[in-house]
Structure 1
Amino acid sequence: MKKTFLALFAASVLAFSCTEKKAAPELTLSGLDKKNFETETNGKGTDLYVLKNSAGMEVCITNFGARIVSIMIPDKDGQMKDVVLGFDSIQDYLNIPSDFGAAIGRYANRINKGHFELDGEHFQLPINNFGHSLHGGPKGFQYAVYNATQIDDKTIELSYLAKDGEQGYPGNLDCKVTYTLTEDNAIDIKYAAETDKATIINMTNHSYFNLDGDATVSSKDWLLTLNADSYTPVDTTFMTTGEILTVEGTDMDFRVPTAIGSRIDNFEFDQLKNGNGYDHNWVLNTNGDIAKVAATLESLKSGIVLDVYTTEPGIQFYAGNFLDGTVKGKQGVTYQQRVGVCLETQKYPDAPNKKDWPSATLRPGEKYESHTIFKFSVKK
């Protein structure tokens, strides 16, 4: 009788153990639990999608704002590192306003006082940043739930219909963002859109990169190179003045690899004072050639290198100056100032109000297309 009891007890323990194992969450390589991204908002379901290549790289994306949540790549020692900032759950993305990893639209960056004219008609957008409209307004695309179709292990398509009048913009805009993880460790991003009424559009990705894979470390020692001879200066409200100035002889010159922290606090230079550090658009020399490197970011500590390619005429280098320790991200890490760097490929800020700059206008029958590549490698 005793033996029978012991046998039954052992069997029950084994069964409980198996149940416990089955109940354990299946985590991504970056430690994300897919269930934490499965909810409903604005009447649409959200989820987490995982892209992988044969080299072992992993990219996690949510259809809430078409955001890149994590990027896992090996460092110079072969250790896997998560090199973007973000949150562990969809609730944090919903509750904590941020642009982490998002596909920004309808118009990335700032529009002066939120107004522009198109074909003689005046449009007023919501004001949400120092008297201007930033990143599509307070309810831009980063807060929209995209329709998601995962094509295969390496590609996902996310689509969104922005209705006529949404956030003050004209035209029903049918847009799509396609992320493809390549075999050579690049994230290939293609934007496409069509409209039924003349409108403006300027989409970008707003990932905060931390190439150390350690969000407690600032960007001051990372090396940045920008393929740009000029930039667009800003006033004290972060609005472009309409000028295009040379970087020659200024703290804006990144034509050779330069440590980000070497000059960022030189507030005697009015542009760094106005931007609270680097938060400016550079005029690229690449002329829309996707084969030419627009920017390179490198961590000497991890050996991880990020090369940026784009068809866009400009790139916004933002050093995370407004991160202030009030937000906790993945794994409970507090995001302090300048622990992430954004390299936002784009039309120039406020281009709709500056007629000599590359146009952001899209008309019926035309197709908006933009292409950006984030290519990762390791320097040992």
Structure 2
Amino acid sequence: MKKILLTLVSVLTLFSCTEKAPIGKLTQSGLDKKNFETTVGDKKTDLYVLTNTNGMEVCITNFGGRIVSIMVPDKDGNLKDVVLGFDSVQDYINIPSDFGAAIGRYANRIGHGTFELDGVKYDLPKNNFGHTLHGGPKGFQYVTFAASQVDDKVLELAYTAKDGEEGFPGNLNCKITYILSEDNAIQIKYEAETDKPTVVNLTNHSYFNMDGDGNTKNSDWLLTINGDKYTPVDSTFMTTGEILTVEGTDMDFRTPTTIGSRIDNYSFVQLKNGNGYDHNWVLNTNGDITKVAATLESSKTGIVLDVYTTEPGIQFYAGNFLDGTVKGKRGIVYQQRTAVCLETQKYPDTPNKKDWPSATLRPGEKYKSETIFKFSVKK
């Protein structure tokens, strides 16, 4: 009888373990890898997980090179997911968004969807108030990258944008490398080469929620931007060509300032034109990756994000166009201004602003850009 009971216990234990096994396959942020496995065209998509010994976890899908989740410890040691996104690749495919995406071939806007290079005029598809935004309607955020996970801290993605793709010239071979460090930093390295003169401006479009809660708004978060100047926009969100000082304006974030303190001051025409903050700042860092370009902080969680970059500019977008129509991870409906984007970049419409830092890439040259998102805790 004892032997029979022991056998029954063993069988029940086996079944119990079998039922719980799928839970173990979920990432720390609750993502199921199976929900990211599909085929787009003839290319397979998947979910890749980077981890370090501090318990930090970064999940990335090769569809759009998107950062899907970032789990970092808060001031109490609890892990929080600090980016918006979806639970499945089908949502990324079916719901237009830039959540976590690798943006290219040209991040931000190109005026009236046209530019001239070496005497040749190029016409691009217009997808934003008569302009071309984030590489056009079929930019890099909607392509499937070839993926190679080097180890538990390094993921390499590759994509070749064909000559004429979204109107841009040149076959552009791109490589994006994501590296998770032991000091809780995500290093993103961009490289590209072309066989014809073209323009390149790559960035990451993560929507950061520093409370680790997609239900909260960004109004109480502290933002610092290491920039004395910015590029103003008109009512179509296009840069005017001016570079103005932040001194004495609502664009001054040189000292830590709560985002919500001035964002609704539409008597200031730039906030009216941008529907809040959606502007490029001219950084003081001069391409020095060791200098902090921007800092974002939540007093609620104590989580601090420092941004470093080799790029001359950074776009601060306050999630003004999130409108409660999109349901993200864990079924949370994303409302207006529930996140912040800090997009390191060349200035918007640089191909049409000859005096601004060039975005031109020629055969034989290599495009290189680097951005670091470093997380820490302020207790």
Aligned residue identity for 1:232: T
C-alpha distance in 2 between matches for 1:55 and 1:12: 37
Query: Which residue number corresponds to residue 54 of structure 2?
Result: 55
1:254-313 CA-to-partner distances (Å, cap 9, x unmatched) read 000000000000000000000000000000011000011100111111111101000000
Structure 2 counterpart SS, 1:183 = coil
The CA deviation string for residues 138-197 of structure 1, in whole angstroms up to 9 with x for no partner, is 000000100001111101000000000000000000001100001100000100000000
Aligned-partner Cα distance in 2 for 1:298–1:140: 31
Alpha-carbon distance between aligned partners in 2 of 1:344 and 1:203, rounded to the nearest angstrom: 9
* 1:196-217 Cα shifts (integer Å, max 9, x gaps): 0000000000000001101111
Equivalent position of 2:312 in the other structure? 313
Equivalent residues in 2 for 1:1-380, closer than 5 Å:
13-24=12-23, 26-380=25-379
CA-CA distance at 1:48 after TM superposition: 0.4
CA contact (8 A) 1:25 1:33 kept: no
Gaps of 5+ in 1: none
- The one-letter code of the counterpart of 1:189 is I
CA–CA separation in structure 1 for the residues paired with 2:300 and 2:120 = 53
Unaligned runs of 5+ in 2: none
| CA spacing shift, 1:249–1:22, aligned 2, 3 Å | closer
Relative to 1, partners in 2 of residues 1:25 and 1:36: Cα closer, same or farther, differing over 3 Å? farther
CA RMSD of aligned residues (A): 1.5
SS in 2 for 1:93: helix
Helix, strand or coil for the counterpart of 2:35?
A: helix
Equivalent pairs, count: 379
Q: d(CA) in 1 for partners of 2:9 and 2:291?
A: 65
For the 8 Å contact 1:318–1:341, the answer to whether it is kept is yes
The alpha carbon displacement at 1:19 in A equals 3.3
Once residues 11 and 183 of structure 2 are traced to their aligned partners in structure 1, the CA distance between those partners, rounded to angstroms, is 49
Measure the CA separation in 1 of the matches of 2:196 and 2:22: 51
Whole-Å separation in 2 of the counterparts to 1:302 and 1:22: 31
SS of residue in 2 equivalent to 1:151? strand
Q: Distance in 2 between matches of 1:329 and 1:139?
A: 22
Deviation at 1:5, TM superposition (A): 9.1
Query: Does the CA-based 8 Å contact 1:127-1:133 persist in structure 2?
Result: yes
Q: Give the counterpart letter for 2:346 in structure 1.
A: K
Letter in 2 for 1:28: T
Maintained 8 Å contact 1:327/1:335 = yes
- The separation in 1 between residues aligned to 2:287 and 2:10, in whole angstroms, is 67
Q: 1:16 deviation in Å?
A: 3.5
Residue deviations 1:216-244, cap 9 Å, x none?
Answer: 11000000000000000000000000000
Distance in structure 2 (CA, Å) of the matches to 1:361 and 1:301: 43
Provide closer, same or farther for how the CA distance between residues 6 and 153 of structure 1 changes in structure 2, counting only shifts above 3 A.
Answer: closer
Instruction: Provide the rounded CA distance (Å) in 2 between the counterparts of 1:31 and 1:363.
Output: 43
Alpha-carbon shift at residue 14 of structure 1 (Å): 4.7
- Tell me the distance in 2 between the aligned counterparts of 1:24 and 1:254: 43
What is the CA-CA distance between 1:12 and the residue it aligns to?
Answer: 5.6
- CA distances 1:58-110 after superposition (whole Å, capped 9, x unpaired): 10000001110000011011111000000111111111110000110000000
Whole-angstrom distance in 1 between the partners of 2:22 and 2:138: 37
Q: Secondary structure at the match of 2:327?
A: coil
- Output the CA distance in 2 between the equivalents of 1:125 and 1:248: 36
Assess if the C-alpha contact under 8 Å between 1:112 and 1:350 holds in 2.
yes
Residue 152 of structure 2 aligns to which amino acid in structure 1? Answer: D
Distance in 2 of aligned mates of 1:152 and 1:92: 27
TM-score for both structures, normalised by structure 2 = 0.97
Q: Distance in 1 between matches of 2:82 and 2:214?
A: 9
* SS of residue matched to 2:272: helix
